Chain A
Amino acid sequence: MSFFPSAAWLKELDEKHQLFTERLEDPLAFEGGQFHFSAKDNLCARDFQARAGSLILKGYRPPFDATPIKRLRENGGLLLGKTNMDEYGFGSFSTNSAYGIPRNPFDIERCCGGSSGGAAATASLIRDHVALGVSTGGSISCPSSFCGVVGLTPTYGRVSRWGLIDYGNSLDKVGLISRTVRDIEQYLPVIAGPDHRDPTSQVQPPLDLRGEVRTVGVPEEARTGLSPEVAGAFEEALRDLQRSGIVVREVRMPSLRFAISTYYILATSEASTNLARYCGMRFGAMNENFDQGFNDFFSDTRSRDFGTEAKRRILLGTFSRMVGFRNKYYVKALQVRKQIIRDYQKVMEDCDVVLTPTMPFVAPRFDEIERMKPLEMYQADYLTCPPNLTGMPHLSIPCGYAHGMPIGMQAVAPHWQEGTLLSFARSWEGSFHYRFPEVAE
């Protein structure tokens, strides 16, 4: 993953960039309520390939629009393009894509975070742009934090998942990433709401953008394991909040330590069934060796075109639901999730949001990532996994900078209370000075 740019590569990149900026600067393109947006590549859109970062979907052109894309298009949105991501959302650094690795706009030696890394980088680079991201276990919060932008992950079921290429159906959420809360506030009502193509979108109460935060709860468990930069920026942010009159309350959430395991078991169990359909037939990478027996035919395509992390998660997920292990892992994880939701609900009786840093460190360098073991990578999600597991809405917003790299904090609100998060972020945005990467200025 080391970075040796070639002249040809730079030239190609330059041409792409020029094409892109010309389109953005076209004065006719965005008149009267029109706007541009991008979509993470696991959201289906006509006129674009939908590859979800995977070789096995190479060349797949979906015959329909994902509901969030359809709604943005119907409301004057121009879909500029699809953003790169970890294959199927499997990763925290966007290094697991079959189509190159997005680089952090603040430092191209560092990652964007993941799995919506391309989305966060795009939002960071382009002014007035809104990026559709998707989070299963932290894939909006993490890259938003690393790229210094605001990322909202709505309540599970708030935004239709029709047209979202599944990772873990009980965890996947479509959300928004942008430079400011203002943009998110504008576009959330467009993409939210019941959809007759997604049953889980049908039970939501109406979206209420109002809300008020007087008390934030900070779990003791979330203050350990942080890098000094992150710890420093977060404590500073807490002091700022207190100065502005918000009560900061220490809370205990012991069940948080079970969140990572619970999350990975549920997410991979579901993912391993979702990914069964990719087998060289019907869509994506097509296997033409029809004279093979079906088991060989399927195994060939899958072994060749799934990436390393995808295979790892398929193995983990398949194992977790196999006879003899299913109760110990899959069923137990379902029960623990319910317990963690109850713990959150209990804590939230005494505070309006739960606040933590988003990631325990700033965006790591690619050489650091290369040295990390899979388990260490999974464990880096220990602050973003819990709210994702519970389906509660959460928002990552920049709260400081260290050596030029952004640091984010993450607020979690009770189910359906996106308004509380937006109001919290609005008032924070009022006094906090954002920085954006130089290239875009």
Chain B
Amino acid sequence: MDKETVLKVARVARLRLTDEELERYAADLEDILTAFSVLDEAPGAEDFDLGPIKVEDVFREDEVITSIDASELREVMGTKEDWVRGPRLS
């Protein structure tokens, strides 16, 4: 994989790479993707499932259930006057 692609992928994933990391990951991913091209030969099923077993029509009913007090969760998040603090939006 070329460095430009690695940089693009890293930006999408919100990762900043040092020059050394960029060098290393470009080489590693090249190796890995070359090996993975074996999949081009693989016979695939026509269809697919999202998991290895069939999970179908599993629902919960529309009921309000509280299992953990929201204040405990706010404490974990370090809220300020109950609001979660975040960065600038630009």
- Which residues in A have some Cβ–Cβ distance to B below 8 Å? 60-61, 63-64, 155-157, 169-171, 196, 199-200, 202-203, 255, 257-258, 260-262, 264-265, 272, 276, 279, 281-283, 286-287, 289-300, 302-303, 306, 308, 311-312, 314-316, 318-319, 322, 329, 331-339, 341-342, 373-375, 378-379, 389-392, 415
Give 15 A-B pairs besides A261-B38, A311-B25, A336-B42 with Cβ atoms closer than 8 angstroms.
A257-B38, A258-B38, A261-B35, A276-B14, A286-B78, A291-B88, A297-B86, A297-B88, A308-B21, A319-B9, A336-B39, A336-B45, A337-B48, A379-B35, A392-B52
User: In the complex, which residue of chain B has the Cβ closest to the Cβ of A286?
Assistant: B78
Interface residues contributed by chain B, number (CB under 8 Å): 52
Inter-chain CA distance A389–B49, complex, in Å, is 12
B68 and A322: CB pair below 8 A? no
Given contacts A294-B86, A336-B44, contact A170 B52 (CB under 8 A): yes
Chain A residues within 8 Å of B31, by CB? 373-375
Decide if B19 is an interface residue (CB 8 Å cutoff).
no
B contact residues around A157 at 8 Å (CB) = 51, 53, 55
Q: Please, how many angstroms separate the alpha-carbon atoms of A157 and B6 in the complex?
A: 35
Interface pair A335/B45, CB less than 8 Å apart: yes
Q: Which A residues are CB-close (under 8 A) to B62?
A: none
> Judging by beta carbons under 8 Å apart, are B52 and A390 in contact?
yes
* B13 and A293 form a contact (CB under 8 A): no
A140 to B29, CA, bound (A): 26
8 A–B pairs (Cβ distance < 8 Å), ordered by A: A255-B42, A258-B38, A289-B87, A292-B87, A298-B14, A299-B14, A311-B25, A335-B47
Min CB distance, B67 to chain A, in Å?
8
- Are the C-beta atoms of A203 and B58 separated by less than 8 Å? yes
Residues of B within 8 A of A300 (CB): 16
Does B15 contact A302, Cβ atoms closer than 8 Å? Answer: yes
Cβ of A40 to closest chain B Cβ, rounded Å: 21
Complex Cα distance, B67 from A257, in Å, reads 45
Q: Which residues of A contact B15 (CB under 8 A)?
A: 299, 302-303, 306, 311, 314-315
Determine how close the nearest CB of chain B comes to the CB of A233; give it in whole angstroms: 28
> How far apart are A196's CB and chain B's nearest CB, in angstroms?
7
Instruction: Name, among B5, B53, B60, the residue most crowded by chain A CB atoms within 10 Å (CB to CB).
Output: B53
Contact of A292 with B42 at beta-carbon distance under 8 Å, contacts A298-B14, A303-B16 already known: no
Q: Which residue of A lies closest to B30 (CB)?
A: A375
User: How far is B12's CA from A281's CA once the two chains are assembled, in angstroms?
Assistant: 18
Give the CA-CA distance A115 to B6 in the complex, in Å: 26
* Set of chain B residues within 8 Å of A264, measured between Cβ atoms: 32, 36
Q: What's the nearest-Cβ distance from chain A to residue B31, in Å?
A: 5
Q: Is B89 part of the contact surface with A, judged by Cβ < 8 Å?
A: yes
B90 CB within 8 Å of chain A: yes
Considering only residues 69-90 of chain B, those with a C-beta below 8 Å from chain A are: 72-73, 76-78, 84-90
**In the complex, chain B residues whose CB is within 8 Å of the CB of A312:** 25, 28-29
B48 adjacent to A261 (CB under 8 Å): no
In the bound assembly, the distance between CA atoms of A338 and B28 in angstroms comes to 28
Selected contact of A199 from candidates B46, B48, B58, B85, CB within 8 Å: B58
Residue of B nearest to A259 (CB): B42
Which listed residue, B13, B47, B60, touches A338 by the CB 8 Å rule? B47
Give the CA-CA distance A11 to B5 in the complex, in Å.
Answer: 48
- Residues of A contacting B85 in the complex (Cβ-Cβ under 8 angstroms): 281, 290
* Min C-beta distance of B74 to chain A, whole Å: 10
- The answer to whether A341 and B48 touch (CB under 8 A), given A311-B25, A375-B28, is no
